[in-house]
Structure 1
């Protein structure tokens, strides 16, 4: 099977534009594209799935073991013609110093034997773009640069100056995208507007496929791809199902669920029962456990506070069954949520947590958590790897017991975090894998 990884040297350089455009253009040719997103990202995989016509998957060299990465890659590549991976941040950006386990896109490319398609935003540059390309070529000897796509090119002269300097290094320039804001996707504070909320998504992806197809030599790109060595299928379940029947909140306020979790839970025989809190639906009372994922409850706080059917049903469910909330779900399990305008909205009150989105402060990074007690995430003492990314602040915890002892990826001291009360638990920590 052939494949490649799309990367840049920084965020905002055009990786997602190129990735979605190529996935759409390749799928239009009748190729079966296996989409991959590097790192802890909930939003891009949904766009990948829409563009490629095949579910996406996340691969993360920090939060997953090498065997887990290879196993997920092998399953994702089954019956596919081409694996197309989108990197995160800059190609080499990661944490720590353990070789192959930094969370960088470079680690994933090296582990899977994928060559790198380098996207360079050449705004304000000409020949100097070659220095950036050369640095990317030389910095990590594990990697091979497949070729370069220039982005935000201002003119034919601009393209020629950048392209000739880069090709003099022996790096093929496979495309040059002109500046065009009409193909950009709308964004909000945690990234792109979610795929299911994006107006006329099919038309936007078709336009991206046309745009990239016109300006990138796709035939040459495919010819330059080497066949990758098929990964050996390894552990499928990075987080065992929390129950046999899982009531899963699923709508615009609760959408941050890793595709590999849902696939693994179903493969293990679990049944997922989606419900919409925004539609005032309660969790299915026949379920064994209720899972409230992250999302954007801060944008829907008024509607959630008024959803009596959902809140009453959730409280009844929690009277004798386990309920867990991640990030946004954790906020909704709390007593109150203050929105961006400073208005407090009463939430479920199953935990004493009070949160505020009025004064935004970024909380971002990998986390390692050791559970203090048995629960939906695993048994007491289980260690999980995951990620935190939100702008909310904790005003109070209400005296609830902490869920886990949590540390970051930079060697800082661990500290109690999250909340648990009876059958209910939650934290801002998104679990990616359990390190069994």
Structure 2
């Protein structure tokens, strides 16, 4: 599949706005655009899916091996081309390499052979922007910077100065977007407010498309995606059970699309239910899976969801239950919210977590399981990512796994286990790979 990676020198340059604007503009023009996001990110992909009308997937060079990356890229089948939004600066990643790289946007571009389009925040500079672009273009010989989009341009003179300098370096400028301070999305502690919570998402996406259409050379951008197509391997991920009861609502939404599609391809059935609607998991499920999300924003409702908690406890007496990050907290004894109020949770694990004192825990994780997680056997190596501000007040249960970070350093929060119940603070991305 042909594709294009939207990258930047640093975070905050405008990658998300440009990516969504391009996706929506091309989709409105009748083209089928397959969206991707590099790195571990749940929130941006939901916006991508809304912009394109297609399920969005993550591509991660640290956690994913080359066959899995190729299989996920192959989900673009039937699309005219793919657009992948990068993460952070285009060469930013973990200090130590993982499966196919350091987790940098450039690793994905190199693995898939897709060119990169730089979006550059040029506020506070002019000709120096060309020097930055030239340095990025020459930093790695295995990646191709095909052009730039100038963002937050102050005036016609400002644009003219930068275009002239770019021309001297031979870097094509495919657009110049003026300063538009009123198009930012609202944020909270884990990033953007979720797409499902945006009150006028369709209109906002159309406005981004209008801006991009007015200020970017869309035919020139589309021309960058022309490349040789190759046949991709099938997407297959080991499921934790054949019938998986999956919590899904605005409190439990952080699960990667490639896992769900890979589990289905392996013959598993996904049985969604909503804890916030006080729905119990299916009684005939092989495993209940509580993904991460924002349960701390809905802790009172979850604590009062009698049918959900009763069904969860009943299932745990007979069959496996697993929680990730926010889902793990809900399996615990109590969750303390940002205001310091304690809410009683399922009590299936002894974990007490707190959002009252924020401290960031962030990074890739590699874990070797001490005990099975559903049908995922003990001894299996899991690769994932942790991103939380919650602290641990109590965690009395046995550890679930030996966990290390990207550099091989031990991580003390290795998850926990009690009976059929397991939980981790990291989110699963892939299984297998080098041992922890």
User: TM class by shorter-chain length?
Assistant: over 0.9
Q: Tell me the TM-score normalized by structure 2.
A: 0.96
- State how 1:312-331 maps to structure 2 within 5 Å: 312-331=310-329
| CA drift at 1:338 | 0.7
Distance, in Å, in 1 between the alignment partners of 2:185 and 2:122 is: 20
The residue number in structure 1 matching 2:265 is 267
Verify the 8 A CA contact 1:71 1:231 in the aligned structure 2. no
The residue number in structure 2 matching 1:243 is 241
Distance, in Å, in 2 between the alignment partners of 1:373 and 1:41 is: 27
The residue number in structure 2 matching 1:145 is 145
Are 1:432 and 2:429 an aligned pair?
A: yes
Verify the 8 A CA contact 1:112 1:229 in the aligned structure 2. no
Relative distance call for 1:95 and 1:228 in structure 2 (3 A) is farther
The residue number in structure 1 matching 2:291 is 293
- State how 1:336-375 maps to structure 2 within 5 Å: 336-375=334-373
Are 1:419 and 2:426 an aligned pair?
A: no
Mind listing any 5+ residue stretches in structure 2 that lack a counterpart? none
| CA drift at 1:336 | 0.4
Aligned length: 432
| CA drift at 1:249 | 0.6
Instruction: Tell me whether 361-370 or 171-180 shows the greater mean CA deviation.
Output: 171-180
| CA drift at 1:183 | 2.3
Q: Which runs of 4+ in 1 moved over 6 A?
A: none
Are 1:311 and 2:309 an aligned pair?
A: yes
Verify the 8 A CA contact 2:413 2:425 in the aligned structure 1. no
Relative distance call for 1:8 and 1:428 in structure 2 (3 A) is same
Mind listing any 5+ residue stretches in structure 1 that lack a counterpart? none
- State how 1:52-63 maps to structure 2 within 5 Å: 52-63=52-63
| CA drift at 1:231 | 5.0
Relative distance call for 1:211 and 1:322 in structure 2 (3 A) is same
The residue number in structure 2 matching 1:105 is 105
Distance, in Å, in 1 between the alignment partners of 2:122 and 2:301 is: 44
| CA drift at 1:98 | 4.2
Instruction: Tell me whether 418-427 or 300-309 shows the greater mean CA deviation.
Output: 300-309
- State how 1:34-433 maps to structure 2 within 5 Å: 34-74=34-74, 76-98=75-97, 100-234=100-234, 236-238=235-237, 240-376=238-374, 378-397=376-395, 399-413=396-410, 415=412, 417-433=414-430
| CA drift at 1:97 | 4.9
| CA drift at 1:414 | 5.5
Distance, in Å, in 2 between the alignment partners of 1:246 and 1:223 is: 42
Verify the 8 A CA contact 2:386 2:425 in the aligned structure 1. yes
| CA drift at 1:267 | 1.8
RMSD: 1.4
